[in-house]
A = this chain, B = another copy of it.
Amino acid sequence: GSVLVINSGSSSVKYQLVNPIGGEAIASGLVERIGEGEGIVTHKFAGNTTTARPVVPDHGAALREVLGMFQTQGPDLEQSNIVAVGHRVVQGGSYFSGPVLIDDDVLGKIRDLIPLAPLHNPGHVAGIEVGRALLPDVPHVAIFDTAFFQTLPEAAYTYALNAEVAREHGVRRYGFHGTSHQYVAGKVSRVLGRRLEDLNQIILHLGNGASASAVRGGKAIETSMGMTPLEGLVMGTRTGDIDPAVVFHLHRNAGMSIDEIDDLLNKKSGLKGLSGENDFRALHELIEQGDEGAKLALDVYIHRLKKYIGAYHAILGRVDVITFTAGVGENDDIVRALTAAGLESLGIAVDPVRNEGRVKEPRIISPDWTSTLVMVVPTNEELAIARQCIALVDEDPAEV
């Protein structure tokens, strides 16, 4: 059977029809500009890319466009033997520590969490509602970005914020990118042929969004993203860690509203805010041309990464593997080399030859003498979601 993976954003829907055994995407696509007049639908199947520009007023219309694409461009969903629809959900709060079959109660909880994820959960709710209506005969599963981090110890997920306020308003570290961190942690164990239970891992998911995690025996014990994806590492357009008093300062002295500061920290900062570019390929070009802002952006990015590696080393006590993944982590050998530089005293180093270039297979890039392995492992969130769906649907008592 196959799994249809749906990732509904505020104004977009990404989808992929996945073969959970082989792992390949049978078909995939994207609906953009939902609710903005003319939308854009892009569908890929069997080597062909089809685009269309229908009016897409809402998520219902978007999913109907998707089903239409499957009907006209293939593959035929009736014959694809879809055994589950997997919905990616960013914020699962403290409710969900793994995938769940979606029923009205689950949907209600995802809706309840909208205050904690105002940019994401509304789109998820809309996508799930329409998805269930359009594909009523298959189980729908919710996969939460936060679920893998529900194992964080209380000392790691608790901010030193007034306890009453924190409790009342759900303020704690949730962590995000969990599906990717969990997938990579498992993949590392299989590639090395070592039991997940025996491995202390640091995982660096460096994409446009970026996060680090410390994983002991397969369980996450710390992560860099917080109540929202804003905290932690330097990202494409997000600040990551910053003195929270900067918000007060900008409000009072720059006369900015809270919405403007939110926008500034989330969308106009990070690599882009420091250099004008959030893509590392463009950033490296600027640096070669002698651009100082770009050089500083890279330096700040690497400095932050080193601090997180050190911090997680301290709390793990022993680190068996550090793994780079996602767009930057998988492709950028300069970032990987700079991150490891100077960490020899922690037993961490990168071999220049092994580090070179881009390879689509998981591999070790540390020299033979180090106590910690450094690896590059491509992530695959859609496959991870599909496999979690299969596992849930197979094991679900109601299905037996």
Contacts and interface: CB of A to CB of B under 8 A. Distances in A.
A227 interface: yes
Nearest to A247: B247
B306 A308 contact: no
A302 B154 CA distance: 12
Given A249-B171, A313-B346, A315-B307, A161 B265 contact: yes
Chain A interface: which size bin? 35 or more
Nearest to A307: B311
Contacts of A252: 115, 118, 258
B244 A165 contact: no
A289 interface: no
Interface in A86-131: 115-116, 118
A361 to B, nearest CB: 29
A249 B161 contact: no
A68 interface: no
Interface stretch (A2-10, A180-188, A235-243, A386-394): A235-243
Contacts of A190: none
Contacts of A346: 313-314, 346
Contact of A299 (B154, B162, B311): B154
Interface in A218-265: 222, 226-228, 230-231, 234-235, 238-254, 258, 261-262, 264-265
A168 interface: yes
A363 interface: no
Nearest to A174: B243
Interface stretch (A267-275, A350-358, A375-383): A267-275
Interface of A: 115-116, 118, 153-156, 158-163, 165, 168-169, 171, 173, 222, 226-228, 230-231, 234-235, 238-254, 258, 261-262, 264-266, 268-271, 273-275, 293, 296-297, 299-304, 306-315, 317-318, 342-346
